[in-house]
């Protein structure tokens, strides 16, 4: 029976409350009862049956009237419409709105992406809801936005080709949906274990990384793959999909990257985000401070300077490790602002050291690769020196080996400009950057710092010994100074001192100190000399004992 006919019957027969049909029903019922009473008076008892039938009919009509009223109120609540004066109007509005919603939902379930022809997220979410549990994979073409910047048509062709590759590899038995600009979701049901799903996704990611040919151009796609287990009682399907897309956007870049997204990774990302938010207010709230770790010259027995180290004390978190917050400062784009603050604070402190009368003390400040991207970095450093009236020769800029060798031409121009000002340059963490010697030969730097991973237990590790001896020989051949950092034990100091290293930094001599503590350390050289001056017999005995173990 059609919806229109159903409406007509309900209007004509059942519905009350002021409509013409309901008034007709009430009048007819009243006339029927009256007729029954009159008939009973003239013809006797048989007519009473007719009166009873009429009464029952009227009662049925009134009952139906009440039930339709309840139905109208319930549908109005489901459809979220305001009840009308007429219950029929309420029911009509509710049925019409619900019918539109069902039709719209059916349209969304049939929706496909205009470019790739793949189902969109609504069919995917419906499939997940129907199965209740499984593994959801997310595959992203990382190059898409980059291609859109200069050739949108090429980007669309590459994305379509990418989608065709996915569907060919997955086959007809698995559902692939185009859920975002360059993100495709692959639904692996409950029949596939998490381990098997990860293996399949790794294989897919490798296959997707093959060269694509688009109108004579070769494109090597950047593929990112994330996946997570999902179960309906634990999390809504929409939330799981959103979490995967966010993880893909925030995850490490690079081809063939496959990462499992689970509760632990989600919690880690949540903590990282919270840490980033705290960092954004740290500088304004005065939560950063500098500590100065002394650098000593064993030959002269004196402190020759200090490295400025950034520390962060958050009121809620306490002291936060630099290994946690420095990478976030860099990735969040805050390192330039914080780096400028460090440079100013270090130069201000170094200016105060001149009043000690202990000879020139240099302050070493780390500069990140992000700061090197500034074309005016040398001008900024020059202005900072002038602002604090600090002689350029008392500032030492430290760069990591990898940052210096990433763009040799840029680094060479920067080194030349800094040397023109009289600023010294040190290569930090030397030996860890895997840079070529030809690249480093082009850069005129003043000091090499041996990384602490080669210094730790150097007296017993032959591989570290070979590396340290090579670095010391390289520095001697280049005519530059060498400093061992991270020295924490006497045995490490003795071995390095014996093999030609004379400058040191580490907890064996002193932990990082506040400005006033550093000045007190410089004014009282006796404890330092006790650690530096050892008679030859003691040196030989200690080394022999350690090497014999």
Kindly report the CATH number that applies to the domain delimited by 113-260: 3.30.70.270
The confidence band for 1, taking pLDDT boundaries of 50, 70 and 90, is very low
Q: 């950063």: which residue's tokens?
A: 288
Q: How many CA atoms lie within 13 A of 319 on its CB side?
A: 7
Choose from 8-17, 95-104, 471-480 the range with maximum mean pLDDT: 471-480
- DSSP per residue, 276-315: HHHHHHHTTTT-EEEEEEEEEETTTTEEEEEEEEEEEEET
- Tell whether the model's pLDDT for residue 428 goes beyond 80: yes
pLDDT of 361 reads 93
Residue range 355-379: average pLDDT? Answer: 85
- Tell whether the model's pLDDT for residue 154 goes beyond 80: yes
| Distance of alpha carbon 252 from alpha carbon 207, whole angstroms | 20
- Tell whether the model's pLDDT for residue 14 goes beyond 50: no
**SS3 per residue for 163-232:** HHHHHHHHCCCCEEEECCCCEEEEEEECCCCHHHHHHHHHHHHHHHCCCEEECCEEECCCEEEEEEEEEC
- Tell whether the model's pLDDT for residue 527 goes beyond 90: no
Q: How many CA atoms lie within 13 A of 347 on its CB side?
A: 24
Choose from 26-35, 69-78, 368-377 the range with maximum mean pLDDT: 368-377
Q: Do residues 409 and 347 lie in contact, with contact meaning Cβ atoms separated by under 8 Å?
A: no
Classify residue 5 by burial, with Cβ atoms within 10 Å: 0-12, 13-18, 19+: exposed
pLDDT of 342 reads 96
Residue range 430-452: average pLDDT? Answer: 73
- Tell whether the model's pLDDT for residue 445 goes beyond 90: no
Q: Do residues 247 and 214 lie in contact, with contact meaning Cβ atoms separated by under 8 Å?
A: no
Range scoring the smallest mean pLDDT among 5-9, 305-309, 528-532: 5-9
The confidence band for 489, taking pLDDT boundaries of 50, 70 and 90, is very high
Q: Do residues 123 and 182 lie in contact, with contact meaning Cβ atoms separated by under 8 Å?
A: no
Please state which architecture CATH assigns to domain 276-536: Alpha-Beta Barrel (3.20)
Please provide the average confidence, as pLDDT, over all residues in the chain.
Answer: 79
- Tell whether the model's pLDDT for residue 143 goes beyond 70: yes
Range scoring the smallest mean pLDDT among 116-125, 142-151, 225-234, 521-530: 142-151
- Tell whether the model's pLDDT for residue 7 goes beyond 50: no
| Distance of alpha carbon 286 from alpha carbon 26, whole angstroms | 82
Between these two residues, 543 and 92, which has the higher pLDDT value?
Answer: 92
Q: What is the pLDDT of residues 314-332, one digit of tens each?
A: 999 999 999 999 988 887 7
The pair of structure tokens assigned to 225 is 């793959």
pLDDT of 115 reads 87
- Tell whether the model's pLDDT for residue 71 goes beyond 80: no
Q: Do residues 66 and 91 lie in contact, with contact meaning Cβ atoms separated by under 8 Å?
A: no
Residue range 345-359: average pLDDT? Answer: 87
- Domain borders along the chain are 113-260, 276-536
Residue range 59-88: average pLDDT? Answer: 67
Range scoring the smallest mean pLDDT among 113-117, 184-188, 360-364, 408-412: 408-412
pLDDT of 53 reads 59
Q: Do residues 301 and 532 lie in contact, with contact meaning Cβ atoms separated by under 8 Å?
A: yes
pLDDT of 493 reads 95
| Distance of alpha carbon 392 from alpha carbon 6, whole angstroms | 93
DSSP label of 83: P
pLDDT of 536 reads 46
């Amino acid at each position: 029976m059609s919806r229109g006919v159903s409406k007509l019957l309900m209007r004509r027969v059942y519905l009350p409350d002021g409509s013409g049909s309901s008034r007709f029903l009430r009048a007819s019922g009243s006339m029927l009862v009256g007729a029954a009473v009159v008939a009973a008076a003239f013809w006797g008892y048989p007519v009473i049956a007719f009166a009873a039938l009429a009464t029952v009919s009227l009662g049925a009509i009134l009952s139906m009237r009440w039930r339709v009223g309840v139905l109208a109120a319930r549908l109005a609540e489901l459809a979220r419409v305001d009840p009308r004066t007429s219950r029929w109007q309420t029911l009509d509005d509710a049925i019409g709105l619900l019918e539109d919603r069902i039709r719209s939902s059916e349209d969304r379930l049939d929706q496909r992406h205009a470019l790739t022809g793949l189902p969109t997220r609504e069919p995917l979410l419906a499939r997940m809801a129907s199965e209740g549990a499984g593994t959801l994979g997310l595959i992203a073409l990382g190059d898409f936005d980059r291609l859109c910047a200069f050739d949108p048509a090429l980007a669309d062709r590459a994305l379509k080709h990418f989608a065709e590759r996915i569907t060919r590899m997955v086959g007809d038995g698995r559902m692939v949906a185009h859920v975002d600009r360059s993100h495709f979701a692959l639904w692996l049901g409950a029949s596939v274990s998490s381990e098997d799903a990860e293996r399949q996704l790794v294989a897919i990611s490798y296959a997707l990384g093959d060269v694509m040919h688009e109108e004579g151009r070769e494109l090597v796609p950047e593929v990112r793959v994330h996946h997570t287990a999902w179960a309906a009682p634990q999390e809504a399907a929409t939330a799981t999909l959103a979490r995967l897309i966010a993880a893909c956007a925030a995850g490490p870049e690079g081809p063939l990257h496959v990462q499992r997204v689970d509760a632990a990774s989600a919690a880690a990302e949540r903590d990282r985000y919270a840490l980033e938010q705290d960092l954004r207010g740290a500088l304004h709230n005065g939560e950063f401070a500098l500590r100065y770790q002394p650098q000593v010259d064993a030959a002269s027995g004196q402190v020759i300077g200090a490295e400025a180290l950034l520390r962060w004390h958050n009121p809620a978190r306490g002291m936060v490790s630099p290994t946690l917050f420095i990478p976030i400062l860099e990735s969040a784009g805050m390192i330039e602002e914080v780096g400028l603050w460090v440079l100013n604070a270090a130069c201000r402190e170094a200016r105060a050291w001149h009043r000690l009368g202990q000879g020139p003390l240099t302050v070493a400040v780390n500069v990140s690769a992000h700061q090197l991207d500034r074309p005016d970095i040398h001008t900024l450093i020059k202005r900072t020196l002038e602002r604090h009236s600090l002689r350029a020769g008392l500032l030492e800029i430290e760069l990591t080996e990898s940052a210096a060798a990433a763009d040799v031409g840029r680094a060479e121009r920067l080194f030349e400009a800094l040397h023109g000002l009289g600023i010294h340059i040190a290569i930090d963490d030397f030996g860890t950057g895997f840079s070529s010697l030809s690249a480093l030969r082009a850069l005129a730097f003043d000091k090499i710092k041996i990384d602490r991973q080669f210094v730790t237990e150097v007296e017993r590790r032959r591989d570290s010994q070979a590396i340290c001896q090579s670095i010391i020989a390289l520095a001697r051949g280049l005519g530059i100074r060498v400093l061992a950092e991270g020295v924490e034990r006497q045995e490490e100091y003795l071995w390095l001192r014996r093999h030609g290293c004379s400058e040191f930094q580490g907890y064996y001599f002193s932990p990082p100190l506040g400005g006033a503590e550093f000045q007190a350390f410089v004014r009282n050289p006796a404890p330092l000399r006790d650690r530096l001056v050892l008679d030859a017999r003691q040196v030989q005995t200690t080394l022999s004992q350690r090497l014999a173990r």
